[in-house]
Structure 1
Amino acid sequence: MASILAARQALTVLRSSISSSSLIHRRGLAGASELHGLKNGLKKVDSWKYPKSPFPSKEEHEIIFICVDTSKWMMRLGRYRLQVDCVRVYCRAKLKSNPRNAIGILTMGTLEKTATLETTSDFDEIRTHLRCIRALRGGELDFFEVFNSCADKLDHYPSNPKRFLFFTGGPIDFEMGEAHWYGNKFKEQGVANDVVNFFLDERFANCKMDLDAFVACTDNNNNSLIKHVPADSRTRVRDIISSLVERKKGNNEAEELLS
């Protein structure tokens, strides 16, 4: 806790001395030039046609990091099982849409930080990895630590469209205005962000509002969205994931991807 307080105090000093266009160090987050090497925006790469895909296209392949909540909060009401099922269906749909998409998995529980899967286009490898990670009692949700992990990995993909998909099942400690700040910085770097939020406890209503603000600020032409899933609902996996894959697809095409 002391280290977090110290970091926040340092942030206040840094924000007053560095221009708003710079992405400053925050909870271990690298600066803009170190983060993605994208001062002048994303560079285009060659277009491809993918003969293995049922939907050949000229879309650039996307780099996706899925951040899985392995905290104690996901052990309630079958949330963790639902989360894993969502990740599996999402990955299958993304790779079916474009076999060159690359997907990595990071964990956000404080007791499960080593279960990282480097980017891969092999669905069997993803499915095997999902069987090896789990939510742990006593672990808290460390939403910000994963930013640093993703930043380091995204340095390897300066030219590709990039996306984070966050699954959250517990409270997130955004400070006042911090959600907007993070969202704007990711938008500047061309990183889209999706959130599937299972934590709708009315006692922590500010967490929901902060996540909404984060996604709204990072959104660029509807490339980011948030899905709130009530804990007591019987929402199907397909209902959760369909909105994440159908933005550039017709309804029929999205249905086929999820089949």
Structure 2
Amino acid sequence: MTDRLAADATATRNDARAVLEALPDTLPREEILAINSAKSDIHTARTYAYRDWTFALPPGVFKPGDTSRLVHDRLLDGTIPVEGRSYAAMGVGLGVEAVIAGTRGAREIYAADVHPDSVATASETYARIVGDRPGTVFRPLVSNLFEEFPDSAGLDVITFNPPAVSARTSDDPTVVRNVCVGAGIVLRFFDQIVTRDLLAPDGAIYLVVSNTAELKRIVGHAVEAGFRPEVLHRQTWEGDNCQAYLFKLSRHPQN
């Protein structure tokens, strides 16, 4: 007789290996630096437009780019479902994810960032656009990853577009914090979720990582930590070899 649970677990492991084997190698340092060579304006006051919303960015708050919009668009169209769910926007920055989650009817929104000014900006943006919404609790949180989260969080949905670029692209610590901390921050992200059991049993993580980071190492670590990766979207750009992936990561079935 076939053990269905064991068979399902084996199939899941095989699927995870297939995803890993299909991922590209990390780009050479020279290519990474060329892709990230644009002059930063992060120390100036700026604005950002997304759909019908306009956001004010004070100095030091990161302006969302193309990879952030992969998450924003899929929160808005429901591909990343948050209605009635507990949602954590990690590295919330300006607060676009929190605003979308509020308009989509999330039950609880953790707007978390290590940068206090970003959390303050996200809070102000949320109050202006969403405001007090019946059935939704907004929880701004200055936190290094999940350090300040309550153990009882029980998150249904987590999104993260980490600053995982593998080459140091600047000597400016603000740029480093937003762009090129490296793979370690994502490894700690998964370790904290597992160690503190922060993800609800049927919850999912939505992670954006490109081959400017140690892509295979990051996804491999997630698999070892007990998560099943699924590629929801792969984004490329004309003129370079960058490939950005939006992964959905859920728990392996238990055997």
Please tell me the TM-score bracket, short chain as reference: 0.3 to 0.5
- Greater share of helix: 1
- TM-score by structure 2 length? 0.33
- TM-score by structure 1 length? 0.33
- Greater share of strand: 2
